[in-house]
Structure 1
């Protein structure tokens, strides 16, 4: 499945962090702008071990493979800003094999809804889940709604764009016609020490796959649903551009630690007195901004299979 999605400039300036970032900075009392650095101390950032898959994974959204049943799941997602418990449960998991990095989400939602069907349309107007993958000089963002409509983008720190060779890659060469790029300075956090990023809105992760499965009835408010699940596969071979200037092994070696982020954004908000920012995450960010790699969870890769000693790893 080839991803091809874009956002409008207006949305990028206000709401790239998630579909519910509909208020300008400073106008929403639930989204503070007086933010220290780092927004979350490193010792408080969540950590996870990603084990090897024990059998082939079919990307159909159902998460019924033995690997997903046995792989450790994340803690319940918490509020993006303050880290408190959220009204609905969300969890994620990561596994891998020789070909792909795999990500799964379990999303509790009593009234599953999604309207956006066009890949290049405003997916952020629906509830979604999001995945970020950070390398030393760039990071990748992926979003999907319950209909399987996708947004993705590549963000390169401007200080590294020329130095690390990003400008020599035709698909993100800013001088070429058809390459869509804007200058990006975060969403709720405007004082990142690394400064501005180049946001490439038409960059597609090569040969990535994504699927959604719904446990309920989509867009039917007359009944109650359990929610939906998401299954993603990112080939190691597709990480070449995101990883420019980064010397890590791809695929990773056992014990290697990467930074990834996992979040959920909602069009609904839990009733007061809960201070629901409408953004929920595996590990809180301390502010309304998904674009801060320094607060992404630490994911350690293990060459051990997901916990089942009787099943061998399938290459």
Structure 2
């Protein structure tokens, strides 16, 4: 338990409030970020290109370190846009990247072992059942369903697949080639509500509804390896820890704390 949380529980006891409420207080100074998701006039073509419909969606703030302001700002900028319609939640991510790199090609490989972009989605906004999507610069997808967070005894169902998912990656540079400096990459996704259906659960948004969501970008430190790259190792042979950059800061290095995710509001 952090010193912050200990002080918070003491304060709650002094005020005569339940100390369990302290666990619901965000461990960084700011509240979770919010984003108004506008409705698309027509279905988007998912090809990694900026469909004119995206002009009507606002960019999010740039990503920060997962722990918030107590950590340095990310080396490279990341931002997202969202739209929705009757069938899909659309996501567009733009990431600065001087070294485009990816190795994993099998569906449901552990994609965060590469540079990746991740989506965490809780349509019921109750910190229980939720979904995770990961994608790398090769366009390889990992998706899973969580019955509840790991710290509450949850487990990842990797056998769950979002079979109707549409996704595309666009690269601005050359993949796995260190002989030039790249510019970045884009991810475009259409998450189908049909794939989010669970017994007794909300799966389709409507105007005015709020969902919990967060985005993460895993970034490794790379060294040159011939004409390509390899992940940097420490002196004892272990991989150097990855960077975790997110939209709404978690306050701790753990994306599986849905009470700290951001909030999206569906509007027309």
Same fold, TM-score > 0.5, yes or no: yes
| Partner residue in 1 for 2:253 | 288
For residues 123-162 of structure 1, what are the structure 2 equivalents within 5 Å?
123-134=111-122, 135=124, 136=126, 137-157=128-148
- What 5-or-longer segments of structure 1 have no aligned partner? 1-31, 158-183, 270-275, 304-315
Distance 1:41 1:80 in 2: 10
| Partner residue in 2 for 1:214 | 171
| Partner residue in 2 for 1:96 | 84
Contact 1:108–1:227, Cα closer than 8 Å, also in 2: yes
- The correspondence for 1:87, drawn from 45, 56, 75, is 75
Structure richer in strand, relative to its length: 2
| Partner residue in 1 for 2:17 | none
Task: Give per-residue Cα distances to partners, 1:249-272, cap 9 Å, x unaligned.
Answer: x53221111101111011128xxx
Distance 1:121 1:278 in 2: 19
For residues 43-58 of structure 1, what are the structure 2 equivalents within 5 Å?
44-58=31-45
Contact 2:34–2:264, Cα closer than 8 Å, also in 1: yes
Task: Give per-residue Cα distances to partners, 1:170-224, cap 9 Å, x unaligned.
Answer: xxxxxxxxxxxxxx73xxxx4xxxx211321110123111111101111111111
| Partner residue in 2 for 1:5 | none
- Give TM-score scaled by structure 1 length: 0.67
Contact 1:148–1:210, Cα closer than 8 Å, also in 2: yes
Contact 1:80–1:277, Cα closer than 8 Å, also in 2: no
Distance 1:151 1:141 in 2: 8
| Partner residue in 2 for 1:245 | 200
Tell me the SS of whatever aligns to 1:294: helix
Change (3 A) 1:123 1:41: closer
Tell me the SS of whatever aligns to 2:255: coil
Distance 1:124 1:254 in 2: 33
The runs of at least 4 consecutive aligned structure 1 residues that moved more than 6 Å come to 32-35
Contact 1:39–1:287, Cα closer than 8 Å, also in 2: no
Distance 1:122 1:198 in 2: 15
| Partner residue in 2 for 1:28 | none
Tell me by how many angstroms 1:43 deviates. Answer: 5.4
| Partner residue in 2 for 1:199 | 156
Bigger mean CA offset, 140-149 vs 67-76: 67-76
Contact 2:100–2:137, Cα closer than 8 Å, also in 1: yes
Tell me by how many angstroms 1:42 deviates. Answer: 9.0
User: Which gives a bigger RCO, structure 1 or 2 (Cα 8 Å, sep 6+)?
Assistant: 1
| 2:51 counterpart of 1:65 | yes
Tell me the SS of whatever aligns to 1:238: helix
Contact 1:152–1:201, Cα closer than 8 Å, also in 2: yes
| Partner residue in 2 for 1:279 | 244
Distance 2:135 2:164 in 1: 16
Tell me the SS of whatever aligns to 2:53: helix
Tell me the SS of whatever aligns to 2:54: helix
| Partner residue in 1 for 2:188 | 231
